[in-house]
Amino acid sequence: MRPLDGYFFGDYFIGQKFVHATPRTITTGDTALYQALTGSRNPLHCSEPYAQSLGYPTSPVDDLLVFHIAFGKTVADVSYNAVANLGYADCRFVRPVFAGDTIRAETEIIGLHKNSSGKTGVVYVRSDAFNQDDQLVLTWARWVMVHCQAVSAPTNAQTDPLRVPQFAAFVAPDQLSVPACMQRSSLAAGVTGSAHFWEDIPLEVPIRHPAGMTIDETDHTLATKLYQNTARVHFDAQHMAGSRFGRRLVYGGQVISVCRALSYDGLENALSVAAINAGAHTNPTFAGDTLYAVSTPVAKWPLSQHIGALRVRLAGYKNVDPNTGAFASATDAQTVLDLDYTILMQRQA
C-alpha cells in the first residue's frame, strides 16, 4: 500500500504497475471551470451545435482537461515526491470523452535512471486512462525527477537493472486517432472565427498569438484541485517557502492549457488534440507571470477527406510579448514551454 508520504526513487522497479485511486466522473461543471481557468474558446468544446455539425453526439470534453484529470490520478503514486516533471512523449488521445464519463488511470514503470549525485533519480512511466467501459481514451509516457529516499531503506533501484526508454520523435500519422464520427462541419466557416483551414496553414511560419494571460495564485491552485493533482509544490505555500523557489509552482499542465487557449487566435479551425509528441517545461511559472504563445506548424498529414493533422511546435513565454520588439532580446529564462503536439484540423470544402 502506498506510504502516506508517497514513493521515492528507491521504491520503484521496472515493470511495476499501479492502479491509481479514485475514478473521476467528468461533468459540465468541470468543463465550465476549465473554460474559466484557461479562457479556452475552441468551438468544438464550447458549442454543442458546432460539435454536432462535425458528427459528435455533443461537445466532447477538452482533450487537455481529460489529460489533466488522468494525469492528476497518477501523481500520488508517481510524482508525489517529484522534484520536476521533466518531459512527455508518445501521448495519444485515442477516444473522445463526454460529460458523464468516468476516467480512471493505470501506470507502469518503464525506465529508471539514477542521477550521479545519488540524491535523485529519473522515473519513466507509461500511463493509460480508461473510461467507465474500460475503453482506452488516452495513453502517455512521461519522466520525472524523484528524490531517492527520505530515509535509509532498501532501494530496489540499486540492484535492479536501470533502463532509459527511447521514444519516437513524434507520433506517426498512422497512429493518430480520428473520431469515427468526424465529418465536415455543415456550419458556415466563420463560426469558428476564421476561414483558414488545414490547407491554408503554411509550415515553418511562426504564428505569434496576439494575447497574453496572467496567471494568479488562485487560478492554478483551483485548476490543480479540480484535477485532483496533489503534488505539494502547487498547494503548500508554507512548504514551498523553504524551497529554492520560495513559493508555489504553477502546474505545468496549466501552462500548456493556457498557451493552447491563447493559440486559438491564429488556429481557429483546430479541432481536438490528437497527440503530444514531446514536451518540456523549460522554466518554472509562478503566480503573477503573464504567458504568451507562439505556434510553429512543422508538418501536416491528410487523415481523411475532411480532416488533416497538423504537427505544431507550441512555445510558451513569460513576461515578454512575442509581438513586441522586446521579444528579440528575450532570454532562455523567459521560455516556459516547448511542446510538440499534433492537432486535428478541418480541411477546405
Q: Is 156 in the site for a second copy (CB under 8 A)?
A: no
Q: Is 192 in the site for a second copy (CB under 8 A)?
A: yes
Shortest distance, position 232 Cβ to a second copy, whole Å: 6
**Residues 87 and 281: beta-carbon distance below 8 Å:** no
Which residues contact residue 22 at a Cβ distance below 8 angstroms, ignoring those fewer than 6 apart? Answer: 73, 228
Q: Is 140 exposed, middle or buried (0-12, 13-18, 19+ CB in 10 A)?
A: buried
Among 129, 141, 145, 226, binds a second copy (CB under 8 A): 226
Shortest distance, position 309 Cβ to a second copy, whole Å: 22
Among 36, 136, 168, 333, binds a second copy (CB under 8 A): 36
Q: Is 328 in the site for a second copy (CB under 8 A)?
A: no
User: Of 43, 62, 35, 82, whose CA–CA distance to 223 is shortest?
Assistant: 35
**Residues 263 and 314: beta-carbon distance below 8 Å:** yes
Shortest distance, position 67 Cβ to a second copy, whole Å: 17
Q: Is 63 in the site for a second copy (CB under 8 A)?
A: no
Shortest distance, position 314 Cβ to a second copy, whole Å: 16
* Closer by beta carbon to a second copy, 194 or else 282: 194
Q: Is 285 in the site for a second copy (CB under 8 A)?
A: no
Q: Of 245-264, which residues contact a second copy (CB under 8 A)? A: 248
**DSSP H/E element including 335:** strand 335-346
Which residues contact residue 172 at a Cβ distance below 8 angstroms, ignoring those fewer than 6 apart? Answer: none
Taking residue 296's Cβ as centre, other Cβ atoms within 10 Å add up to 16
Window of 14-22, 88-96, 171-179, 304-312 that interacts with a second copy by CB under 8 A: 14-22
Q: Is 43 in the site for a second copy (CB under 8 A)?
A: yes
